[in-house]
């Protein structure tokens, strides 16, 4: 099968592979620009992108905004013609301020999940920035697009369908993950029915990007033959030289076994897929690890009640403290068997 180009409005990616935004700090300018240079779409994660700025603990918002501008500008320098986007979780506090700052810097695409990004269009007004919701069901997409249409006379430029095999927070209930009720085939069909209506109203084609458990070309071809236009891949790109996490973090994946991957309920109350390490067993054994200083990064997070601060735990991991940090992974994390280059991985998709 010849893989199609991914067209999101006037943005054309020759290879229909979108890097999944991975926070905290796993996809920043290096990995995003490497993917963009291979004619995919490079996605940075906007959650605590400034975690290593010196004033991050005392001045979190300013440090994040400064770092975000820096990472956008570095990505553009390395990939001047590439397509670069930012992923913001809808549940982030000051979500609108972060999105607006990225739009002011001329970011190409904003991708948003982890909640319904119902207000996203108001933050990209009068710009060329494309908006892409992440959903796990036709129902969620319908809610978002009806609201965007009624309130903002706008629709999505593309849609990510994130399936049950993805890494990080998942848009499913625990039982839906365990009973394998999700199917790409059904969800793509449901989503297409909803998109048809908005495609004819707005006179555009809204591509579907499917992600979650896509590891190689065969996986991509399978989901494209079900009706998707492109794929979003996260975990596979952790095993690259360009991945922005510490080397110790990447090396964890080389030793990971299938049975080391589990579903947890994160402190924000959502199911998530993660690597079963010392940190997770400590938490299960009641060894609480309170936050040093809560930066109130997420809505619906209740610091006094949680065993640990998810931001602190993800930051420890990305810096290389892989025993005491939280490591998210997709269900295919154990398949990474070497640290490759982004260029090599893309050869498969030509």
Ligand X SMILES: Cc1cc2nc3c(=O)[nH]c(=O)nc-3n(C[C@H](O)[C@H](O)[C@H](O)COP(=O)(O)O)c2cc1C
- Interaction site with ligand X (CB under 6 A): 20-23, 26, 45, 47, 87, 89, 113-114, 134, 162, 165-168, 211-214, 232-236, 328-330, 332
Which residue(s) pair with 8 in the sheet?
Answer: 11
For residue 20 the two structure tokens come to: 């999944």
Q: Between 204 and 263, name the residue whose CB sits nearer to ligand X.
A: 263
Report DSSP state, residue 236.
G
Distances (CA, A) of 302 to 97, 173, 290, 307: 22, 20, 12, 10
Q: Between 199 and 298, name the residue whose CB sits nearer to ligand X.
A: 298
Q: Between 153 and 337, name the residue whose CB sits nearer to ligand X.
A: 337
Q: Between 204 and 248, name the residue whose CB sits nearer to ligand X.
A: 248
Q: Between 77 and 323, name the residue whose CB sits nearer to ligand X.
A: 323
Please tell me the distance from the alpha carbon of residue 15 to that of residue 7, in angstroms, as a whole number.
10
- How far is it between the farthest Cα atoms of the chain? 55
Q: CA geometry: angle at 184 spanning 183 and 187, to 5°?
A: 85
User: Quick check: helix, strand or coil at residue 132?
Assistant: strand
Question: Does the bond joining 219 to the residue before it have cis omega, within 30 degrees of 0?
Answer: no
Q: Between 8 and 214, name the residue whose CB sits nearer to ligand X.
A: 214
Q: At what angle do helices 60-78 and 29-37 cross, to 10 degrees?
A: 30
Q: Which helix (H) or strand (E) holds 222?
A: helix 217-225
């Amino acid at each position: 099968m010849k893989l199609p180009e991914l067209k999101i409005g006037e943005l054309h990616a020759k290879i229909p592979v979108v890097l999944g935004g991975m926070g905290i700090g796993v996809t920043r300018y290096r990995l995003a620009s490497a993917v963009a240079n291979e004619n995919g779409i490079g996605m940075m994660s906007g959650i605590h992108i400034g975690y290593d700025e010196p004033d991050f603990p005392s001045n979190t918002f300013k440090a994040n905004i400064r770092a975000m501008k820096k990472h956008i500008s570095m990505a553009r320098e390395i990939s001047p013609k590439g397509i670069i986007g930012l992923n913001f979780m809808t549940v982030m506090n000051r979500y609108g301020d972060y999105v607006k700052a990225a739009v002011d810097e001329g970011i190409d695409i904003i991708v948003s999940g982890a909640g319904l990004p119902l207000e996203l269009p108001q933050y990209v007004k009068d710009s060329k920035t494309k908006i892409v919701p992440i959903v796990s069901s036709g129902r969620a997409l319908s809610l978002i697009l009806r609201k965007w249409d009624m309130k903002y006379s706008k629709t999505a430029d593309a849609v990510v369908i994130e399936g049950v095999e993805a890494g990080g927070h998942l848009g499913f209930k625990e039982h839906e993950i365990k009973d394998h009720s999700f199917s790409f085939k059904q969800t793509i069909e449901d989503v297409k029915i909803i998109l048809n209506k908005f495609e004819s109203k707005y006179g555009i084609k809204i591509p579907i990007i499917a992600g979650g458990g896509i590891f190689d070309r065969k996986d991509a071809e399978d989901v494209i033959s079900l009706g998707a236009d492109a794929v979003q891949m996260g975990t596979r790109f952790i095993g690259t030289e360009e991945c922005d996490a510490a080397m110790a973090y990447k090396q964890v994946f080389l030793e990971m076994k299938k049975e080391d991957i589990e579903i947890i309920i994160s402190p924000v109350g959502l199911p998530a897929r993660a690597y079963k390490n010392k940190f997770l067993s400590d938490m299960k054994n009641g060894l609480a690890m309170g936050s040093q200083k809560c930066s109130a990064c997420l809505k619906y997070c209740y610091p006094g009640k949680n065993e640990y601060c998810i931001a602190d735990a993800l930051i420890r991991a990305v810096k290389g403290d892989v025993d005491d940090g939280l490591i998210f992974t997709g269900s295919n994390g154990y398949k990474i068997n070497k640290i490759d280059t982004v260029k090599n991985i893309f050869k498969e998709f030509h």
